[in-house]
Amino acid sequence: MSVPEIQQDDDILIDLHQIAARLICSDGVPAERADELAGRIAQEIRSAWGGQQIYIKKTDLVELSARNLDIYNEFNGTNHHQLAKKHGLAVPVIYRIIKSVKQQERDKRQHKLFQE
């Protein structure tokens, strides 16, 4: 099966192709075959999502939960700005994280009076 060429202006597809080929090669597949499979993957993604704007989160939910818990545990009541700088976040985001984790921790300890 012949795989159409990826155009030079398709930066994301080129990156995807290279990453896929590298990962496939790392599993012991010959480079030529890995390149072909990576090209097919890139073309499938183009067919499925072409023309759409796609946002890919940098972190997954587990990483975010761990980070938020770290921020909550490091919080001393007055160090919002230091935590924001340390974690690369805005101060209002630190406030929201602390409020959210505090509520989650409270919910773990307390039973709900009424089921939702």
Say how far apart CA 15 and CA 13 lie, in whole Å: 5
Cα 29 to Cα 4: distance, rounded to the nearest angstrom:
21
Residue 68: the pLDDT is 93
Q: Which amino acid is at 30?
A: P
This prediction's pTM: 0.49
Other Cβ atoms less than 10 A from the Cβ of 34: the count is 19
Q: Which two tokens stand for residue 9?
A: 């202006």
pLDDT 10s digits, 21-52 = 999 999 899 999 999 999 999 999 999 998 88
Domains delineated in the chain? 1-56 (no CATH), 61-106 (1.10.10.60)
3-state class percentages of the chain: helix first, strand second, coil last, to nearest 5: 65, 0, 35
